[in-house]
Amino acid sequence: MHFKYLKGDELMQKIAFFKLAATVLILSVFIISLTSCTTEKPNRPFNQIVAYTPGTIKPSASQSDLDKSVTSFYEKWKVHYLRVVPGSKPLQMYLHFNPEAADWVEPKNTVCRSEGQGYGMITVALMAGYDREAKKIFDAMFRFVKAHPSSINTNLMAWQQVLLPDGRIVTSENGQEETPSDSATDGDLDIAYALLLADTQWGSKGEINYSEEALKILHATLESVVNLDENILLLGDWVKAKQQEDKTGLYIITTRSSDFLLGHLKAFANYDLENKDRWLAIHHKMQEIIMDQYKKWSPKTGLIADFLIKNKDTGKYKPAKGYLLEDDYDGDYNWNACRIPWRYPIDYLVNGDTSILEQLSVLNSWIKKATDSNPLNIKPGYFISTGLEGQAIPDRNWQDMSFIAPFAVAAMIDKSNQEWLDAIWRLMTENENFSFENGYYFDNCIRMQVMLILTGHWWQPGR
């Protein structure tokens, strides 16, 4: 998937479309405010600032200015992406995957994917206290999750939903009709994490027992999405279910690097006490794979490939070679791995875990040198297994915030990165070419969560 920024007449057409869409969406959000006259106060509101691990840094701006940037971006994000399911009672909402009707989306009528629903639910839970409607929106989004279960394990979410000509939103693989669909791992992990945030924010004694629902997802994940012999996360519940059909035998020993949500796993271990040792074993295995990958395949750059496969001879995991699931660059730093500089450092920032700090430090040093400390020079993809380590993937002559913004989180680990962090922050918040209106779902949702982390608003749920 390519997330390009547009220029000239094409940009003006896109902005016009945004204004029309915004008008419709404001009406949708207004509906929510009519559903209840009361609001529930969160236990950890937006205006409480988290103290990250000593020695870590934030952008060089006042907390007031940082917060204004976050809330301004959130208001645009909320209006543009959050949608009401017409006629839903009780209310259902989803995060729209393609409100711009971008030509790269297939099928064209895709409106939601579990990945985005997870992004949205986490964002709304963290914005509670600023957003007085957060709980109502969150609950409506979770009802949408429950309405679209995976066909393999119904405690997980089907990975894709589409809008049919008759107005129904259904789970679909091909976009033409309602068809069974399986899960995607990162979406379910984020949804479970969001439910734990909600349990901390509002407790679980209301209509939705957030803690209980999170545990259902976590137990389903262990049952259907974990290779228990390897302690690795699989690509979705379809891998185990279709293992006999996989003549290559590869998918059962394949994992996706961007699913290594180390901070999430610590939270899961604290909640799912029955399986605490298993979650910590998965966490440890992920750290082991990250460090093996870095030392063997990317010692100069710290880059990690999209998909990693166990080498049956050595027992170690290596980058995929050629096309495995998505494209010919599945063994490179591509559209999945671009999230790594955002996802991996959280465990250090919040929990102080130093196990992969060496890999993150090398990644920071390399990207600053490779770009001459100018984030505009960050390329949308780099070789690991397909070509020379750290060489930009060719024919991608654009800049993409989904590759740029995550490096700001990685920069937070050490004060030597302060100028680099500030440069990325300015690009994210001041450069008109990278305004919210010029972005798409993927980069805007990543940027939203990155901004929450950078400004001190990311925290681990706790009992």
Model pLDDT, residue 22: 44
Range 46-83 burial, b when 16+ CB lie within 10 A, else e? beeeeebbeebbbbebeeeebbebbeebbebbbbbbbb
pLDDT at 462: 83
- Sequence-ordered list of residues with C-beta below 8 angstroms from that of 132, at least 6 positions apart, any chain: 39
Radius of gyration of the chain, Cα coordinates, nearest whole angstrom: 21
pLDDT (0 to 100) of residue 104: 86
Q: Is 432 a catalytic residue?
A: no
Quick one: DSSP state of residue 149?
B
State the pLDDT at residue 247: 85
421 within 8 A of 408, measured Cβ to Cβ = yes
Catalytic residue among 67, 139, 182, 186: 186
Domains observed in the chain: 8-454 (1.50.10.10)
Residues 6+ apart with CB under 8 A from 247: none
What's the pLDDT score for residue 463?
A: 52
Q: Is 186 marked active-site?
A: yes
Per-residue pLDDT 10s for the chain (463 aa) are 333 333 333 433 443 444 434 434 444 444 444 333 345 899 999 989 999 999 999 999 999 999 999 999 999 999 999 999 999 999 999 999 999 998 889 999 999 999 999 999 999 999 999 999 999 999 999 999 999 999 999 999 999 999 999 999 999 999 999 999 999 999 999 999 999 999 999 999 999 999 999 999 999 999 999 999 999 999 999 999 999 999 889 999 999 999 999 999 999 999 999 999 999 999 999 999 999 999 999 999 999 999 999 999 999 999 999 999 999 999 999 999 999 999 999 999 999 999 999 999 999 999 999 999 999 999 999 999 999 999 999 999 999 999 999 999 999 999 999 999 999 999 999 999 999 999 999 999 999 999 999 999 999 998 5
pTM (predicted TM-score) = 0.92
**Tokens encoding 248:** 């290559």
Please give the Cα distance from 407 to 372 (Å, whole number).
Answer: 14
Q: What is the pLDDT at residue 21?
A: 45
Q: Which of 115, 139, 272, 332 is catalytic?
A: 115
